Amino acid sequence: MRSAEITTFLDEAVHPMRVREPLPCRELDPLPGPVSRASLVLDLACISLPARSREILSGQGGAAGSVEEKVVKWAHARVRSLVGTLLAGDVRVAAYRPDATALTGLGPGLTPTGDDLLVGLAAMSQRLVGGGLVEARAAVAFSTALAGLPAGETTPAAHRLVQNASKGRFPSVLASAVEMIGNPNADPESLETLTVRLASTGAHSGADLLAGALALVYAVVDGEAN
């Protein structure tokens, strides 16, 4: 092992919980007007879903009996429940807290799958509020539930990401992709490029962020509401 590698190894061993810089975040640009379900259908047709996002959205992934299979199924069920609550227009913070709490810290990585899904869903809920397809007070209640999630249940980086999302600030790579959806001024090539860029972020974080965002879009298109 080279000296530089030895130094890095020892440094990480001594400082295993070193705090890393979070992804740069920003607010979403406002939509130019209302969003129709028909426009969302057209947008979805332009997006090439990565395998990871398809697994989360379908609840089918991982080897049979594996931890990954359980994570995918659990994440899918919790996101689906949150989406149903949002589309039902529930304005109670307590209605979102159980599912949000069940997701934070779920899965491996610097930002676990569950936290990425929460952030992606929060971004799209805010976007569709601007488009008139999600009740504003319901989105506020969801964001408030995110703000109250305990830091100790997930990684420091993921907690900062979720707290930023609760304040309407999202990773720039996610914001850029979300802003293309339902935007009458967006072109299909830009939408495809930005969603591919998002999906390729990290080992699985980008694909999980995308899955969280699209779970709400698919539900709106399908007219789902629990």
168's CB contacts (< 8 A; 6+ apart) are 27, 28, 126, 143
pTM of the model: 0.89
What tokens were used for 85?
């609550």
pLDDT tens string for the chain (226 positions)? 333 333 333 343 333 444 445 679 999 999 888 899 999 999 999 999 999 999 999 999 999 999 999 999 999 999 999 999 999 999 999 999 999 999 999 998 899 999 999 999 999 999 999 999 999 999 999 999 999 999 999 999 999 999 999 999 999 999 999 999 999 888 999 999 999 999 999 999 999 999 999 999 999 999 844 3
CA distance 184 to 48: 20
Q: Is 84 exposed, middle or buried (0-12, 13-18, 19+ CB in 10 A)?
A: middle
Domain boundaries, the chain: 33-222
What tokens were used for 223?
């007219």
CA distance 107 to 86: 24
